[in-house]
Structure 1
Amino acid sequence: MTPRAPLAPLVWFKAGGAAEWLFEPADADDLAAFLRDLDAAVPVMALGLGSNLIVRDGGVPGVVIRLGKPFARVEALDATGLRCGGGASGILVSSTARDAGIAGVEFLRSIPGTVGGFVRMNGGAYGREVKDVLVEAEVVLRSGERRTLSLGDLGYTYRHSALPDGAVVIAATFRGTPGEPAAIQAEMDRIAAAREASQPLRSKTGGSTFKNPDGHKAWALVDQAGFRGRRRGDAQVSDKHTNFLLNVGQATSADIEALGEEVRAAVKANSGVTLEWEIQRVGVQA
């Protein structure tokens, strides 16, 4: 376990403070034993690729758990099933599915993150969500207990699950449909091209900032409020996709979050719609 571990290098925004402690378990048993023996008062947070996250500049108290290579495996179970480690990327899941002739999970190719984050947040893109393909998830609860949760147990709504605080997703089983690898690759290519054309992929960003309100697109509301390209220090609303915030230099997490709040206020004043954050904001202010 590493004390005062910098988190900025581990998150897409490349900003923010340190973890009080950073723990990278060797396997599921190691994680379960660690959580079982950890003082119940110590907060725990799981960290994947850090793509949908603002780590505040004062850092994250307690323990940040990062699932590394031991949790990044993906294997086909049968003609349509995949078992995926909680640390596996969407690209690995979709490419493994392609090689096995399993269609229906191509959309995961476009979500920057890991299976653990997808499961917790009901990640989705291009008309599909994790709830459409999830069979069950294996988690380690804050108590150290290992449990398998069914789709129904997770209480999915839009970009939200009922997964308990402190629980860590160590694996998930997805179910697709039979498909031809060439057709699956073509769909992955289509999604990748659409994403490249519309999103600032080569920037320091956090992905989609706000949830789409009922009947609206968040990006359109931000655009209508006049915030395309708006800056606060080195934090900027993307010119390319207005539902993305960027760190265009040495922005602090405070700059990025404050710009997001400016956007929310402007959208509320302009349209009467209250935008909800999709990006997770964790830790304490400096």
Structure 2
Amino acid sequence: MSRHTSWRVGGNADVYLVPADREDLLAALSVLEKEAIPWMVLGGGSNLLVRDGGIRGAVIDTAALNRLEFLSGGEVRAEAGVVLGQLIEEAARRGLAGLELLYGIPGTVGGALAMNAGVPGREFGERVESALIVEGGTMSRWDRQRLRFGYRRSALTSGMIAVEARLLFSPGESEALQTVLRERLAYRRRTQKVEGANAGSVFRNPPGAKAWELIEEAGLKGASVGGAQVSRFHANFIVNQGKAQAEDILALIQRIQKEVESSSGIRLEPEVKIVGENTALNG
């Protein structure tokens, strides 16, 4: 899985599937259910830590579900595999506003939907009107109320796959929106400059505080375990210095949690999803 995650770590999956379209996805899920094979879904792999023992069962990669349709009245339908940056760029080019502040966040529409990706002042779910969700082998449309968006979360859980998001944008001026995109990208490069492969923000911001400030105040900027290091530029990032194992990253996450709680009384919760087996079973 190291080839499919932005941290560049993780053991093998038993089965790796890339459905060509929605029908292929449903057919694959039917076979997996019949054979009692567990599975998990993968978007861009940018918010995921796969342990060194890999994943028992199947990984379903939604990359080929990449249809993007711009309809009338600001309505956009984006399949789960569409890269979030691509959606935002194309919307801005067409003079559609609403998600430009999220520009630069890695990942796909499916991942942004499942975790309600966002920045201070804007969340992906604010623009979602409904989504096509597969659960129990059946695909149905969920409205925004059923999706229950919250801070870095939604109602989607394991056993569910987001297939498509229906979004509603506001009218805007194309040139001004594209200027915002350039500014956002420059800002993220300036403030989130890091030294190696990473998964973006590792911890959620606790109420009334910022995770990076708590980590910095605990004296952990630059701290390392094996080949994993807390970024010297942004303390809520952990970077793979080139030869890190997943167990190094996990140990560093646990060290950060322990020392931040000791210094501030606040227990940081991971924003990244941690999956797989601890022991390298597959060599």
TM-score range, shorter chain: over 0.9
For structure 2, list consecutive stretches of 5 or more residues without a partner in the other structure: none
2:121 match: 127
Pair 1:52-2:47 in alignment:
yes
In the TM superposition, 1:80-95 aligns within 5 A as 80-95=74-89
Pair 1:251-2:244 in alignment:
yes
- The equivalent position to 2:218 in structure 1, one of 185, 206, 225, is 225
- Give SS of 1:220's match: helix
- The answer (yes or no) to whether the contact 1:75–1:96 under 8 Å persists in 2 is no
- The answer (yes or no) to whether the contact 1:210–1:243 under 8 Å persists in 2 is yes
2:100 match: 106
Superposition deviation, residue 108 in structure 1: 3.2
For structure 1, list consecutive stretches of 5 or more residues without a partner in the other structure: 1-6
Q: Structure 1 CA distance, aligned partners of 2:154 and 2:74?
A: 24
- The answer (yes or no) to whether the contact 1:76–1:96 under 8 Å persists in 2 is no
Q: Structure 2 CA distance, aligned partners of 1:285 and 1:14?
A: 16
Relative to the length of structure 2, the TM-score reads: 0.95
How many equivalent residue pairs?
A: 278
- Give SS of 1:204's match: coil
2:230 match: 237
- The equivalent position to 1:37 in structure 2, one of 27, 31, 43, is 31
Relative to the length of structure 1, the TM-score reads: 0.94
Q: Structure 2 CA distance, aligned partners of 1:267 and 1:202?
A: 23
2:191 match: 198
1:21 match: 15
- The answer (yes or no) to whether the contact 1:56–1:281 under 8 Å persists in 2 is yes
- The equivalent position to 2:58 in structure 1, one of 63, 67, 77, is 63
1:167 match: 160
Pair 1:76-2:70 in alignment:
yes
Superposition deviation, residue 201 in structure 1: 5.2
- The answer (yes or no) to whether the contact 1:222–1:267 under 8 Å persists in 2 is yes
Superposition deviation, residue 37 in structure 1: 3.1
Pair 1:264-2:279 in alignment:
no
Whichever residue aligns with residue 107 of structure 1, its letter is: L
Q: Structure 2 CA distance, aligned partners of 1:281 and 1:213?
A: 19
In the TM superposition, 1:1-16 aligns within 5 A as 7-16=1-10
State, as a whole percentage, how many aligned pairs show the same letter. Answer: 38
Pair 1:138-2:144 in alignment:
no
1:154 match: 147
Distance 1:199 1:96, change over 3 A: same
